[in-house]
A and B are shown apart, each in its own frame.
Chain A
Amino acid sequence: MVKPTFLILNLLLGCGGETDPKKAESGLKRTLPPLSLPSPALRRLNRAQYDSAITSLLGEGLILPSKLEPDVSADGLQAIGAALTTISPRGVEQYEDAAFDLVNQALNENRSELIDCEPERSVDEACASASLSAFAARAWRRPVTDDERSNLVAISTQAATVLDDFDAGLGYGFAAILQSPHFLFRVELGEDGTDGGVRHFTNHEMASRLSFLLWNTIPDRALLAAADAGDLTTDTGLKAQSDRMMDDPRFEHGVRAFFSDMWMLYALDDLTKDPTLFTHMSPTVGASAREETLLGVVQNVVHDDGDYREIFTTTRTFLDRKLASIYAVRAPSREGFAETMLSPDGGRRGFLGQVSFLALQSHAVSSSATLRGKFVREVVLCDYIPPPPAGLNTAIPEVDADAVTLRERVAVHLEDEYCASCHLQMDPIGLGFEQFDGLGHFRRLDHGAEIDPSGELDGEGFNDAWGLSAHVAAHPDLSPCLTQTLVAYASGHSVTRGEDAMVEYLTTGFEYMDHSTRFLFSDLVMSPAFRLAGALE
């Protein structure tokens, strides 16, 4: 399981920000495995996607709804939750409120984006039809049928008659479009091909899949045009669009959304810390911490086309004044975020040295070796740790003369054979981060006693978090885990055993291409895992 790691470490430490020219993909030797494909499932737009779709459809500057059906995580990803959950009665009510509110705002603020004709009277079916068709085609990510168009026109005509106002009447049609399942769900069902049991996503479904994966929003006009032309079901057409989209600044939104979901950074909105114990705590720490992590990820993936492992080992980061004070370094800028290099003295580097991880995987009043270790195991390395058995007394001893530091106190987890079977997989990792308190502030002492941050990860010893991060970066499960999580995220389902071969195929490419996450996105998009689905069940 564990491979020697020095070569990789040397490479990582030696490259110092300079990126070697990329290998040619042509050197990559691998064979496409037999397909095991999940059935297609509707996916609910999440909050961020709803907002970005609305901005794209109705224009900038609107006040977006503060209350909508909440995102739900399932099997570790909100992307999977979106494919399992539905819209509750309360959600229906909220989407209705939001639709009318947004449409009214847009008709006041950005009318010309919605209505491209001058109505002759309060009822003008031709003008209504043109406006509604154009809007629905973008909102629903596909051309509208004649029936759909006439239903929408009928709604608007009725409303325009009652209200004696063309715009107000049209608003009801727009509101219907925004409450339709064709807007609120991603309808990507595929069509039966000639190869029995396999479904092929259509051109417009591919446009939607690409757009939500790479930009976290609805397709732009160019992508819809490519779908209209039938380009997205050909290799060259698909590659051309995915390249264009990854070169576009909006790729950053797709990358941010994926990493936020994978690392649960959305939970930083509800970060709770006892301010009497953590004097650096303030209501904005969570959002700042998320931004630090995402700026680093975007730099690595989008701007540098860098090596994924460097996200765990880099000393380069982006701090605002708040985070700089927690890290006890000079703020790189008076306002907002700016790049800075951390010194090796504090043992802090990479994502696992950041507040976003350290504070989120802690308690309100203290650090947690178990939560931090569990996160590394399950989220970063995709291992599975079973839940603690019910009926077990889970108390850890309080501080006393014999057991002062957390390491001494959680020793019970590791001495008791029953507990150790699971906790040995988590606590020794988490204890490596003990020099960072529950908010991520560096410390040498815990309750007055010296902290020992040494330990081992799957046979690789480390002295502190600095060394631990290097071992995580070099861990053989790191790349397959990223691949597996991206496949699950992109398709909205839990990856099953049958798909191991596809994950391995993509991992081979990812590793060969110097762990380029950008390449992984592109490779996934071109693979059957993104373009095909199993039979409807």
Chain B
Amino acid sequence: MKPLNRREVLRGMLGGAAVSVGLPPLEAMFNCSGTAYAAGGGLPTRFGLFFWGNGNLPERWTPSGTGADWTLSDQLAPLAAVKDKITVVSGMSLHTDNVYPHSSGAAGVLTGSNLLSYQDGREDGTFSRPSIDQLIAAEIGGDTIYRSLETGAMPGTVGHSFNGPNNKNPPELSPLAFYERIFGASFRVPGEDGLVDPRLALRRSVLDAVMGDISNLSARVGTADRLRLDQHFTGVRELELRLARLQEDPPNLDACFQPTSPADGFPDVEGRPQISEIHRAMSDLAVMALACDQTRVFSHWFSDPLTNQLYPQATMGHHSLTHDEPGEQPEVNMVTTFIMGELAYMIEKFSEIEEGDETLLDHMVLLATSECSRGQTHAFDEMPLVLAGGANGRLATGLHHRSFTGENVSHLMLTLLRAVGINAASYGVDAGEVFDGLSAIEL
């Protein structure tokens, strides 16, 4: 029997009688990425965020030497294998308000603006603006199946990827669930001549109806609710677009293959989660999700601000350690160094994916940061900032750039926006706002 071409009318695929499903007239929108690959016009620049909670110890973090001639510090030592692929930026500060320990810093570093507290200056609140990953996703995330992907390594992690106020993208914490989402039943191996499931079109009709309901309801509510419904609408529209894409051929990328399924569950060992194992399983999947161009933006929440997780060999939770460990805080140092080891794993995995004559890492930029430097004082100076990847030749690597004047971290963020191809004039709000990038690391 001649295999059905998916562009032909599908007959009787699910029912007994003849059924016919026309493909939706959406092909035009997919040609952009397909054409880009076919013409060899350069692979798109991808963005990643690696965030960990509770900061570092600046005196054991800052590398010695600056420019291209520098030596890794104690805490950065695990990054030795990828030293020429990273740039460490030290000495920069958050210029936003430091009012609420940890949450102000997270808002400051990820949005360049102040935390919006819920009431009467209470401690909890929301980001007032999209986090950097979503600023970027809004510009470059539109051509892939997923606008962005969010993952976490620590049980209970909530992440801080914000689409806007009170609208957070919750990270996936189970490697198996993440695998099934990206590489499960809906995943089509590039180049395989698959059939289009007629149910995709039916699901899209349902989503159309949901969007209609949202629009009608939106006309009846107050301003704040209208914004919330707009965001809900956006989410539904994105899912509809994703289903439309699944009706098209996936891009044929050499580096893309369907990875093997991770373990089903990572049980605690002696009361402590298997942080490293979970993180590495997530990293492998995130790397392949980018290699398969399922998304061009991801954020990995290694741990949340304020996390009090018990790390391997630590005698107290991480947050307690930063405040209560006396002296030079050897355990805080151990935990930070451990986290950098896990960061190194992820960077190395990206560097192993070949894309043309270079690697995926060369075609992306990964930002690793935290909500403060010294956790004990929730310090905003000496912010920990590590970049990995050359962003398609837009960023210098193998550098230690030191700011001797406590410059605003927002300068670096503006450089990152520009590195992924966004023509941004400024970054941040009020004290966090800047109009210039960090030219020292730009190429």
Name A residues whose Cβ lies closer than 8 Å to a Cβ of B. Answer: 39-42, 67, 69-70, 72-76, 80, 84-93, 96, 100, 122, 148, 151-152, 155, 158-159, 161-165, 172, 175-176, 179-182, 185, 187, 189, 270, 272-276, 281, 283, 363-366, 384, 386-388, 390-398, 494, 536-537
B383, chain A: closest CB distance, angstroms: 14
List the count of A-B residue pairs having beta carbons below 8 Å apart. 214
Contact B15 A391 (CB under 8 A): no
A221, chain B: closest CB distance, angstroms: 24
Contact A181 B222 (CB under 8 A): no
Binds A, one of B61-69, B76-84, B207-215, B356-364: B207-215
Knowing A92-B236, A92-B238, A394-B376, the reply to whether A365 touches B317 (Cβ < 8 A) is yes
Residues of A within 8 A of B225 (CB): 41-42
The CB with the most chain A CB atoms within 10 A, among B101, B122, B169, B202, is that of B202
Binds A, one of B247-255, B320-328, B343-351: B320-328
Residues of B within 8 A of A86 (CB): 166-167, 227-229, 231-232
Partner of A365, one of B124, B155, B221, B320: B320
Binds A, one of B113-121, B257-265, B426-434: B113-121
Contact B104 A390 (CB under 8 A): yes
In the assembled complex, the Cα of A334 lies from the Cα of B61 at a distance in Å of 55
Partner of A363, one of B202, B210, B317, B377: B317
Binds A, one of B16-24, B29-37, B417-425: B16-24
24 cross-chain CB contacts under 8 A: A70-B170, A85-B228, A86-B229, A88-B235, A90-B235, A92-B235, A92-B239, A93-B181, A96-B206, A96-B239, A151-B209, A162-B19, A162-B202, A181-B214, A181-B217, A275-B270, A363-B317, A364-B308, A364-B317, A387-B123, A395-B325, A398-B324, A537-B223, A537-B224
Contact B271 A281 (CB under 8 A): yes
Residues of B within 8 A of A182 (CB): 213, 217
Partner of B379, one of A176, A185, A276, A391: A391
Residues of A within 8 A of B235 (CB): 87-93
* Interface check B309, CB cutoff 8 A: yes
Knowing A181-B213, A182-B217, A275-B270, the reply to whether A40 touches B177 (Cβ < 8 A) is no
Residues of B within 8 A of A181 (CB): 210, 213-214, 217, 229, 232
In the assembled complex, the Cα of A72 lies from the Cα of B162 at a distance in Å of 13
* Interface check B385, CB cutoff 8 A: no
In the assembled complex, the Cα of A375 lies from the Cα of B414 at a distance in Å of 41
In the assembled complex, the Cα of A169 lies from the Cα of B160 at a distance in Å of 39
Knowing A88-B168, A159-B202, A163-B14, the reply to whether A390 touches B99 (Cβ < 8 A) is yes
Residues of A within 8 A of B118 (CB): 74-75, 80, 84, 494
B331, chain A: closest CB distance, angstroms: 12
Residues of A within 8 A of B168 (CB): 72, 85, 88
The CB with the most chain B CB atoms within 10 A, among A42, A155, A161, is that of A42
In the assembled complex, the Cα of A172 lies from the Cα of B207 at a distance in Å of 10
* Interface check B411, CB cutoff 8 A: no
Residue of B nearest to A394 (CB): B323
A192, chain B: closest CB distance, angstroms: 12
* Interface check B234, CB cutoff 8 A: yes
* Interface check B203, CB cutoff 8 A: yes
Contact B166 A364 (CB under 8 A): no
Chain B window 369-413, contacts with chain A (Cβ cutoff 8 Å), 1 for yes, 0 for no: 000000011111000000000000000000000000000000000
Assign chain B's interface to a size class: 35 or more
Contact B317 A272 (CB under 8 A): yes
Chain B window 273-303, contacts with chain A (Cβ cutoff 8 Å), 1 for yes, 0 for no: 0000000000000000000000000000000
In the assembled complex, the Cα of A379 lies from the Cα of B380 at a distance in Å of 30
Residues of B within 8 A of A189 (CB): 220-221
Contact B222 A537 (CB under 8 A): yes
Partner of A163, one of B19, B376, B377: B19
- Beyond the given A84-B126, A276-B271, A398-B326, please list 15 additional residue pairs across the A-B interface where CB-CB is below 8 A: A41-B225, A42-B228, A86-B231, A89-B239, A90-B172, A93-B239, A163-B198, A176-B206, A176-B210, A180-B213, A363-B308, A390-B378, A391-B378, A393-B376, A536-B222
Contact B232 A92 (CB under 8 A): yes
B217, chain A: closest CB distance, angstroms: 5
Partner of B309, one of A67, A76, A164, A272: A272
Residues of B within 8 A of A393 (CB): 376-377
Partner of B122, one of A67, A75, A91, A179: A75
* Interface check B98, CB cutoff 8 A: yes
Contact B209 A274 (CB under 8 A): no
Contact A395 B232 (CB under 8 A): no
Contact A67 B234 (CB under 8 A): no
Residue of B nearest to A66 (CB): B177
In the assembled complex, the Cα of A179 lies from the Cα of B203 at a distance in Å of 11
In the assembled complex, the Cα of A180 lies from the Cα of B122 at a distance in Å of 33
